[in-house]
Structure 1
Amino acid sequence: MADLIVSGGTVITMDGGRRVIPDGAVAVTGATIAAVGPRAEVEAAHAASRRIDARGKAILPGLIDGHAHAGHGLVKTMGSGDSAAWSEACRVIYTLASPPSFWRAEAALAGLELLKFGVTTSVMLLGGGDSIGRVDDPAHGDAHVDGINAIGIRRVMVLGPTRPPFPRPYRGADGSVRDVSFEQQAETIGTLVERHHNKGRITCATLMPVYREETHDAAKVRKIEAQGRVIRDIGSKAGAWFHQDGHRGGSIEMADRMFGLLGPDAWLSHCTDLTEADIATLVRTGTSVVHNPSAIAAVRGFCPVIEMLDRGVTVMIGSDGTAPDRSTDMFRHMFQAMRYHQRAARDEALLPPGKALEMVTIDAAKGLGMADRIGSLEVGKQADIITVELMAPHMLPANMPVHRVVYFASGGDVRDVVVGGEILMRDRVAPHVDEAAIAEAANAETARMLAQSGMAGMIVEDPGWGLTRRRG
């Protein structure tokens, strides 16, 4: 007896044989997949108390976003395309104008966006990446977990200290401003890992800022190395993986040679304009990469995904969302990745749709150390399942389902979402979620943040009518 059967659709399994099963079905018992195969066979072997009719839809494993940022959901659009001003706004907001209620409201909003886009596992750095982590007080991380748990998807919460120098001023949960040292931030990181790692659908990872200075101060390097050991040890003792945000030319080789940070339990974001030594380091250490094709970093530099893939590096796709100008729609980012590399090489044969889909499913699961649990529809894995509309006008004619899903679908075409055997969205309705309340809380926290930070002027819109270049 199964608990749930999703049947009648085209099953794109992403299993070892990359089977595509027309008129297929997936049976679920408890939180795990019990059977995958032709509908007639699965239904003959399994009765179920709950069913999802997936006729006219594709049935896929839940999508995985390998890199994004908590907090960003409430700072969308600020700065009107001025990325330097936006980054400075994030620094102020994440340290001085974001109480725990901000982090809970943002997590619920971003989590709902991900759910509706069919993203069942997402990586979120608690703050502005390698610059401003919100790790002065566990209350903010706790609030983030509360917000995402209200939605029900899986979350990898990445926790790391701010970039030096220390101490860093923060406005705490009690409203007072205090200077926070590296040691205090490390203590907060350790507390959050202990509270939340492998608890329910939450896992944690640790992070260190990327070192990329061309000249080296020996005393500073020794201090960074010691801090890196502290943060790495916090994660290693808990079995948590390690992440770094913003690598570019030469910094990967330095991260290994100077600090010993890399390894098969690490994944790195952006990775633009890499040197031969950088790529060789990735190959030798077994470190994975998350490519963010829609990010500003991918405009300023080039991520050599094809070369890394050809040399055996695991590469996944991340949204780097949800701000300043991008969503967490992984269908959008898959297509962006394909065109990005085809245009760079003037070769439309690069990065075919099957590989792009692997990069947000099974390859992403491998890169996060979760391939034994998620990333494909296989017996014994967690039942993270989505359905995608195949019969809408933009999805027809009814042939080549993998191509249609990758080239023509968007997050709005996701109809049903199951996580760990629990139906979280059915025909685009999430019955356990009060969407109006989430929107109201998000808007209220944004207004409060703008008032406290004094940055209301940054949401004055300047679309650039009639211009070929934004105003400086």
Structure 2
Amino acid sequence: MFDLLIEGAVVVTMDRAGTVLKNSYVAVTEGRIAEVGEMPPGGETRARVKIDGRGKALLPGLIDCHCHAGHSFTRGSGIVDDWLDVMEDIYYRCTTPEFWYAEARLAAAEKIRFGTTTSVNIIGGSPLIHDQESIDAHFEGAQSLGARTFSGTGAPGGAWPKRAGRWQDGRFAEKSLTLEDALSITENTVCKWHNVNRGRTNAVVIISNLGPEKALTEEQSVRQIRAMREISLKYGVLLHGHSYGGGIAFAAKHCPECLGPDVSLAHCTGISPEEVKILARSGATVATGPSTKSHVRARCPVTELLDEGARVVFATDGNAPDRTFDLWKDLRIGQLLHRNYFNDTRLLPARKVLEMVTIDAAAALGMEDSLGSVEAGKIADLILVNVEQPHLYPFFSPVEQLVNAASGQDVDMVIVDGEIIMEGGRLARGGMKQILTDGDREFSAALERGGYRPEEFFGRDGA
């Protein structure tokens, strides 16, 4: 007997052969995919739970390889000129563990609602290093709704020492932080949170900027990059962070060991042709956010990277100040940006861009053998998309129609490890109203602690 049997769906497997099965079934046992095939099932048909998949497309859960914890509370704040400085002030000096727990649940709810089953998260805009209890609260909130998470802290941007503090009983206690504090809390976080919760919760090591840090000397920049790399190698976890034009060449020259298949770098905008080649040779992954402000300022050469054999994935960089965790929109934005740049509508075909948030993204996490496609033996992280809607009908070309027209709002069911964590838009492990109420309360309290007025914080984009 199967634990779960989904019958009658169009199965978009996302395997490397591009297999699409119409009127098919997927069977799940003990959290893994037991069988995939065309209807009717040839053998066992009994299951503890049966799901009618007719009118649905079944895909692997989407994987968002670059997000920021904290940002779910600060979206709409694009009118703040010194946005990054304000975010650091709020995250480092105005928050409590309750803030980070509530924000993580709000972010997890949005991702699940849009069909993202796995995400990579920097805790904070620049990684949080001042309070282990707040970091723990993020992990507890992120895992509470059932999704798979890779989260972490590490070396923040800017000069040392950092000024941060902790609110307790209405009083603020400030302290000074050094790189040694960052190393200690990063290693503690990895030891505590990597590969727990039956493998759904994992830690990563963060480097805010893989490249020369303006506020540091060259020697200091290299030292903190190497220090974070040593922790990631010691524990066998992903090294993740940001990089921009010149950063890749800097790393290749001063710390080449900091580039490799277990490294993923967000943005990579403004990089040179030589840096494209360096990334391709190293095996590192580029996580590009097509709807980010970074991509407005300079271009990430996605097509050139792919032509050189580099791995590139689309990510949301969610979700502030002006975006969401809806990966579906970033497929279309990314595809359109690079087609427009080259005046070539053949670039980045639908199957490729969908691979960039499924099987390619799983490979970026070192989990291609376990995630990213609907194949027997893999972990049952699955989504069902309601395709019986005008904008998706008639559903003759599943991959093309999903990429061209689907949105997160079309996701009907989300399954992680064989567990149904959302059905019909309703979360199985938490009430949406309570999540929203808790979020509103905690962010309002953070603004009050910092002396911020909402009218100074939110407003028209571009004002």
TM-score (norm 1): 0.93
Partner of 1:65: 64
Paired position in structure 2 for 1:433: 430
- CA distance 1:214–1:121, change in 2 (3 Å): closer
Please tell me whether the aligned partners of residues 13 and 61 of structure 1 are also in contact (alpha carbons under 8 angstroms): yes
Q: Secondary structure at the match of 1:68?
A: strand
Deviation at 1:342, TM superposition (A): 0.9
- Once the two structures are overlaid, the 10-residue window that deviates more, 447-456 or 408-417, is 447-456
Mapped contact 1:137–1:173 kept (Cα < 8 A)? no
- In structure 2, the partner of 1:7 is 7
How many Å separate the matches in 2 of 1:126 and 1:211? Answer: 17
The alpha-carbon deviation at position 216 of structure 1 amounts to 11
Deviating more after overlay: 412-421 vs 446-455: 446-455
Q: Measure, in 1, the Cα distance between the counterparts of 2:167 and 2:133.
A: 7
Q: Measured at CA, do residues 362 and 459 of structure 1 come closer, stay the same or move farther in structure 2, by a change above 3 Å?
A: farther
Q: 1:398 to 1:265 in 2, by over 3 A?
A: closer
Distance 1:65 1:356 in 2: 13
Find out whether 1:303 has 2:300 as its counterpart: yes
Change in CA separation of 1:230 and 1:398 when aligned onto 2, cut-off 3 Å: closer
Please state whether the residue corresponding to 1:122 is helix, strand or coil. strand
One of 308, 312, 320 as aligned partner of 2:309: 312
State the identity %.
35
1:307-363 Cα offsets, whole Å, 9 max, x none, are: 111111011111001111100101111111111111111111111111110000001
1:249 correspondence with 2:245:
yes
Structure 2, gaps ≥5 residues long: none
Matched letter for residue 23 of structure 2 = D
1:150 to 144, 149, 153: 144
Counterpart for residue 46 of structure 2: 47
Q: Corresponding residue for 1:19?
A: 19
Equivalent position to 1:85, from 77, 82, 90 = 82
Deviations 1:64-95 (A, max 9, x none): 00101000001111143x5x432221011111
Distance 2:55 2:422 in 1: 17
Give the whole-Å Cα distance in 2 for the aligned partners of 1:436 and 1:162: 34
Structure 1 position 158, deviation (Å)? 2.7
Contact kept in structure 1, 2:159 and 2:215, CA below 8 Å: no
2:349 corresponds to 1:355 = no
- Shift, 1:446, TM fit: 1.0
Please name the residue that 1:170 is paired with: 164
Q: 1:75-114, aligned counterparts within 5 Å? A: 75-80=74-79, 82=80, 84-114=81-111
Match for 1:249: what amino acid? Answer: G
Query: Aligned to 2:66, what secondary structure does the other structure show?
Result: coil
For 1:227, the equivalent position in structure 2 comes to 224
Quote how far apart the aligned CAs of 1:214 are.
10
Cα 1:215–1:441 change in 2 (3 A) is closer
Amino acid at match of 2:50: R
Equivalent residues in 2 for 1:188-227, closer than 5 Å: 188-200=185-197, 201-210=200-209, 212-213=211-212, 220-227=217-224
Aligned to 1:346: 343
Q: Cα deviation per residue 1:164-205 (whole Å; 9 max; x = unaligned)? A: 421111112544111111111211111111000011211111
Query: Is the Cα contact below 8 Å between 2:205 and 2:228 reproduced in 1?
Result: yes
Q: Is the CA contact (8 Å cut-off) linking 2:23 and 2:39 kept in structure 1? A: yes
Worse overlay, 391-400 or 103-112: 391-400
1:280-299 equivalences in 2 (<5 Å): 280-299=277-296
Within the candidate set 154, 174, 183, 1:160 is matched to 154
Relative to structure 1, is the Cα distance of residues 331 and 283 closer, same or farther in structure 2, using a 3 angstrom cutoff?
Answer: same
How do 1:348-427 residues align onto structure 2 when only pairs under 5 Å count? 348-427=345-424
Matched, 1:269 2:263: no
| Residue of structure 1 equivalent to 2:178 | 181
Matched to 2:35, the amino acid is A
Question: In 2 relative to 1, CA 211–417 (structure 1 residues): closer, same or farther, beyond 3 Å?
Answer: closer
Measured after TM superposition, the shift of residue 294 of structure 1 is 0.4
State how far apart, in whole Å, the 2-side matches of 1:427 and 1:6 are: 15
Aligned-pair CA distance for 1:229: 2.6
What are the superposed Cα offsets for residues 387-437 of structure 1, whole Å, 9 maximum, x if unpaired? 001111111123111111111110000001100010101122223211111
How big is the shift at 1:303?
A: 0.8
Q: Alpha-carbon deviation of 1:263?
A: 0.9
Q: Distance in 1 between matches of 2:408 and 2:390?
A: 16
- Normalising to structure 2: TM-score of the pair? 0.95
In the alignment, is the contact (CA less than 8 A) between 1:250 and 1:277 conserved in 2?
no
Aligned equivalents of 2:458, 2:252: Cα separation in 1: 43
Deviations 1:245-272 (A, max 9, x none): 1x22221111121123111110111011
Partner SS for 1:45: coil
Equivalent residue for 1:258?
A: 254
Q: Which 5+ residue runs of structure 1 have no aligned equivalent?
A: 465-469
| Cα separation, 2, equivalents of 1:361 and 1:214 | 33
Local SS of the residue matching 2:310: coil
- 1:459 shift after superposition: 4.9
Instruction: Indicate the residue corresponding to 2:237 in structure 1.
Output: 240
Opposite residue 17 of structure 1, the aligned amino acid is A
Please list the CA deviations of residues 192-242 of structure 1 after superposition, one character each: whole Å capped at 9, or x if unmatched.
11000011211111122325459998xx32333333232212221211011
Q: 1:165 to 1:414 in 2, by over 3 A?
A: same
Residues of 1 paired with 2:226 and 2:202: CA distance? Answer: 21
Which residue type is aligned with residue 220 of structure 2? K
- 1:127-167 CA distances to partner (integer Å, 9 max, x unpaired)? 11xxx321112111100011112111001103212224211
- Does the 8 A contact of 2:76 with 2:459 survive in 1? no
What SS does the aligned partner of 1:372 have? coil
8 Å Cα contact 2:105/2:144 also seen in 1: yes
Alpha-carbon distance change, 213 to 226 in structure 1, aligned in 2, over 3 angstroms: closer
Cα distance in 2 between the residues matched to 1:87 and 1:332: 25
Name the Cα RMSD after superposition. Answer: 1.8
CA contact (8 A) 1:387 1:417 kept: yes
Question: Partner of 2:73 in structure 1?
Answer: 74
For the residues of structure 1 that align with 2:24 and 2:344, how far apart are their CA atoms?
35
- Taking the aligned partners of 1:256 and 1:209, their CA distance within structure 2 comes to 17
Give, in angstroms, the shift of residue 453 of structure 1: 1.3
SS at match of 1:145: helix
Counterpart code for 1:100: P
Q: Retained in 1: the 8 A contact 2:155–2:179?
A: yes
Of the structure 1 ranges 157-166 and 306-315, higher mean CA displacement relative to structure 2 is found in 157-166
Report deviation, 1:274: 1.4
Q: Distance in 2 between matches of 1:238 and 1:355?
A: 32
